[in-house]
Amino acid sequence: MTAYARPSYTDLNARIAADLAAMPAVLRGPLSVAWARSCHGQHGHLDWIDKQCSPLTCELERLYDWAALYGVDRLGATASIGPALATGTVGTPLLAGTQLRGPNGLDYTVQAAVVLGAGSTSVSVRCDTTGSAGNLAAGQTLTLVDPIPGCSNTLTIDAPGLTGGEAEEDVDDWRVRVADEWRTVVTRGARSGKDEDYRFWAKSAHPSVTGALIQRHVLGMGTVVVRPICNGLADRLPTQAVLDAVAAYLLDIAPATADWRVVAPITRAVTVSIDLLPGFDTAENRAAISSAIGATVIAEESETSLLAMAEIDAATATVTSQYTRLEPTADIAVLAGEVLVLNPIVWA
C-alpha cells in the first residue's frame, strides 16, 4: 500500500485547472486558484487530525491529553537540595526560610530551623530555582543574603553536594514513556512488577533517570535491586536526591508485597587507546571520535551489556579509518550491577 502523501498547493492548482480546461481562461485561473486554496487547507486539516491520533506525532497540547488517559504525567523541573555546614556562636538560631546566595548567582533557602552548636552544624538547603544550574559540589560556599549576628556569613556545602536539580522532562522522552505505557496497557493490561516495569517506574520518578539495571534475588529470594542510570550526570551515576526520588516513587506504585532496594550502579571503567595516523591526528577528529565512542558506551545500559571491540571500531570509522586501536584488546562484558563509564580517550 502506498503511503498517503499530502498534495501540494501547486499540484492541486494544476489538477483543478486541468479539470476546468473547458472553461474560458478568464474564469479558469481565478476559480482554480480559489478552489486549490480551499482544498489545500482541507488536506492540511486532515493531516493535522492524523497526527493527533498518536502520542508519537501529536502536538504538545494533545500529548497532555494522551498522557492523562494513561497516567503518565510529564516530569517537572526539580530543584537541587542538600546539606551545608554553618558555624558561629553556640546557641545562635538559623531559621527556616533564611536566604543564601550561591557562587552561580542563584538563591537558596534553609529548609528547617537549626540551632548552631560547637563546630559545624548541618543545615538542609534548597535552591529557589529549578534546573541543573542549581547543583553545586561539596566544598563550594553559600553566602547569607542578610547577615545574622552570631552566624558566619558563609556556609560550606557538605558531601554529597547540592544535587537533584534537573530541567523539565524533554518532550520526546515524555512521548516515549506515554507510548510505552500505552503499549503495556494494550498488551498486558497493567504493570505488575516485571523488570521492565521497574525500569519504567525509575524513569518516571526523576527526569535525570534514563534507564535502570534490575537485579533479582541477590539479597534473598524475592528481592529486587533497582539501580538507576543517569546518562547526563557524572559517571552515569544517580545522586542521592535521585535515589530518594526513585525510592519515594516505588513506595507509592510498586506492588505492596515487593521487597525492593534502590542503590547506585557500580561503575565499570572503559579505557580506549587510539593511535591516529599522521595527517589524521587533528583536534577535530579527536573530538568527533570521542563523541562517537561516548555515544556507543552510553547505549550500553542493560544487565548483560557487552561492549565489543567491533563497536568501538565502527564508531571510530565513522570519523576516519586511518587509525590503530591499542585498547581494549578484548570485548568488555559487565558484571552484575555494573554500568560502563568511558574514561578520557588515550591518544597514542
Interval 248-278: pLDDT, tens: 999 999 999 999 999 999 999 999 999 999 9
Separation CA 126–CA 100 (nearest Å): 10
Q: How confident is the model at residue 227 (pLDDT cuts 50, 70, 90)?
A: very high
- Name the more confident of 45 and 145: 145
Separation CA 205–CA 183 (nearest Å): 20
Q: How confident is the model at residue 1 (pLDDT cuts 50, 70, 90)?
A: low
Q: 59: closest CA among 47, 69, 51?
A: 51
- Mean pLDDT for 1-20 is 78
Amino acid letter, 119: G
pLDDT of residue 301: 92
And the C-alpha cell for 192? Answer: 505488575
Average pLDDT value over all residues in the chain = 92
Separation CA 260–CA 227 (nearest Å): 11
User: Over the range 312-340, which residues count as b (16 or more CB within 10 Å of their CB) and which as e?
Assistant: beebbeebbeebeeeeeeeebebeebbbb
Top CATH class, 81-157: mainly beta
Among 16-20, 109-113, 123-127, 281-285, which stretch is predicted with the lowest mean pLDDT? 16-20
Long-range contacts of the stretch 1-6 (C-beta < 8 A, 24+): 4/50, 6/43, 6/44, 6/46, 6/47
pLDDT of residue 3: 65
Say which CATH topology domain 191-264 has. Answer: GMP Synthetase; Chain A, domain 3 (3.30.300)
For residue 207, cis peptide bond before it (omega within 30 degrees of 0): no
Among 37-46, 120-129, 195-204, which stretch is predicted with the lowest mean pLDDT? 37-46
